[in-house]
A and B are shown apart, each in its own frame.
Chain A
Amino acid sequence: MSIMSLKDVHCGYGDGKEILSGISFDLDEPGFICIIGPNGVGKSTLIKLIDGIIKPSSGSIEIYGRPLQDYGLRELSQVVGYVPVMSSDFNVMSVLDTVLIGRFSRQKWRTTQKDISVAVKSLRAMEIEDLVDRNFNELSAGQRQKVSIARGLVQEPKILMLDEPTANLDIRHQLYVSAFLRRLSEKTGMTAFTVSHDLNLAAKYATKIIVLEKPGRIYAMGDPKDVITKQMIKDVYNVDCDIVDDHGTPHVILQGVLEE
């Protein structure tokens, strides 16, 4: 059974302008999927569509063989999780309480030992176990980002959508989070679907890359070494670069910008 299947998906924001036009792809195997592309091309919109946060203007989305609209909200939250690019939490809660919110769809009335266990494991996985009793509002942007990822993990979804999960992280944690999500997908069968602007990180860890180009179309989709090419970066980003081989992984060395 296909993990997800998008057929001719179009999406706009009401002013007549289309953000995504005619997106179609099938994902049959779990993995660490990276969506790349320039600003405003619809990367975040695509992952919000797959998580049912926004609705397509036309086309169909199926998750595990079922149309997305057939899922109830609670049921969907156990299948697809979402980590926003920037946490917009409005609360004064401990980090543990903040992460436990992600267990909502799996809880009945009270927080169980199992909920706490999963929450603590997710904090350990993000290397922020020491923040467990800290107030979420006092954390740095990077720490908040990791708490958000931990909250996505406690949903125990089959597919986790992450909008620029490494945007606020230092280089160690960029590598750590990317490697963790890749290995997690390999060992558990969970699909991590991320938006990224870091082509080298995407090339190093992604099992598959989806390149979006203006105006909201798929330029290429496939293995990083087939997708990350000098021509793709020129066509999609208007940037000149060199690609070197780093033990079988393409590594982008940026040279300069080209005329739009």
Chain B
Amino acid sequence: MSQSNNAIIERAVDAWMEEDVDVQEETVNYRKGTVKKVLFILILLAIAVVAAGYAMAVGTYPISFFDTYRVVWDHFFGEIWDETADYLIFEWRLPRICTGILAGIGLAAAGVVMQSILRNPLADPYTTGISSGASFGATVAIGLGISLAGGTYAIVSGAFVFSLIPTAMILAVSKMRGASPTTMIMAGIAVMYIFNAMTTMIKLFVSPDQLQAIFAWSVGSLDGATWTQVGTMLTFVVVGYLILQFTSRRLNVLSTGDESSRSIGIDANKLRIICLLVVSFLTAGVVSFTGLIGFIGLVSPHICRLVIGSDNRFLIPASAAFGAALLTVADIIGRTVIQPSTIQVGVITAFIGGPLFLYLIIKQRRSSRCRSCR
């Protein structure tokens, strides 16, 4: 080693071994970054709350934006001063809004985690065939009248059970030697095509009324939401979300690749299987009630990732808040744009999500090209 080399290396090793290093500036910057991410989440939550207030105001019976909050407050803590407003909000509008918020949280959180565990920005509950399974289950219940439960839960139980089949297939594939996230996505796509074909087959033989019911379910809607439904969804979403949030640091480790993850202390396969199961239950718990609402699981993580990066500790809550806000706004648009008729929320999310997604991709490509020019 040359003398100069010796001195440089000696300094570097001594610096590495030093115990008291001044990292005040880096620590302050790191904490500032954390505060910014938390702030972003709080802003999204505030938007969701404002959107929910506006959604409560929208309808044929006029209630002002600020009065909606007053009605809710007085319902719980005060004296009901407008019984009609109270009835409309609590019996009709709020269950629908809560269903939308819960669906937004569940689908967006599921999307973030799907993208993380499959290391693919296009992964979401739909890419992996979960929605196709649910769709087939609903079609079987509506078209053939076969389901585990009767009455209002016939479609829900059918959709729920069948939405778990693609997950089981993906898990079976993941156990095979040499299976990678890509093979898992391909397995999901294969299952999706099989379920789509079977759904189409059933549609060929059902009555026009049944066909209409199948169509209404498949476009995704918040119509007919009830407090019972909200209660069931709440259980799925809260439990699922908390488990996913708990795994967020592990998901960050998983982003380094399977081999590095193991070296850092994570069994990538085990984590992937646990997350896949939780995501499936979470998604099934949502879509079995609402039908297929697209783009929330795909767009929400993408937009939030552009703002706060991909640290899952913050990305999961941010995407959940974004999903809740986006779905509430989409429902407001659906309810107001051709009043008194309603456009299903699934159609609106696709209309908003598609162009927004395209715009983001183009913007991202442009900015990365400019960076490489510099």
Contacts and interface: CB of A to CB of B under 8 A. Distances in A.
Interface of A: 14, 48, 51-53, 73-74, 76-77, 80-82, 84, 87-94, 96-97, 101-102, 104-105, 107, 111, 113, 116-117, 120-122, 124-125, 127, 132-133, 135, 138, 151, 153, 155, 161, 175-176, 179-180, 183-184, 187-188
Contact of A153 (B8, B16, B30): B16
Interface of B: 1, 5, 8-10, 12-13, 15-18, 21, 23, 26-27, 29-30, 33, 116, 119, 177-178, 249-250, 252-253, 255-257, 259-260, 262-267, 305-306, 309-311, 368, 371
A81 B10 CA distance: 23
Contacts of A132: 26, 29
Given A77-B263, A90-B119, A96-B30, A116 B23 contact: yes
A133 B32 CA distance: 12
A187 B255 CA distance: 33
B300 to A, nearest CB: 15
Contacts, number: 134
B263 A81 contact: yes
B178 to A, nearest CB: 8
Given A77-B264, A84-B257, A84-B260, A120 B16 contact: no
B309 A93 contact: yes
Contacts of B306: 92
Contact of A179 (B5, B16, B266): B5
Given A153-B16, A176-B9, A180-B12, A116 B263 contact: no
A105 to B, nearest CB: 4
Contacts of A101: 252-253, 255-256, 264
Nearest to B254: A90
A105 B256 contact: no
Contacts of B310: 90-93
Nearest to B253: A104
Contact of B17 (A77, A96, A111, A187): A187
Contacts of A91: 252, 255-256, 309-311
Nearest to A184: B13
Given A94-B33, A176-B9, A104 B264 contact: yes
Nearest to B177: A14
Contacts of A48: 259
Contacts of A187: 13, 17
Nearest to A51: B263
B255 A73 contact: no
B18 A121 contact: yes
Interface centre among A84, A89, A104, A133 (most CB of B within 10 A): A104
Contacts of A113: 23, 27
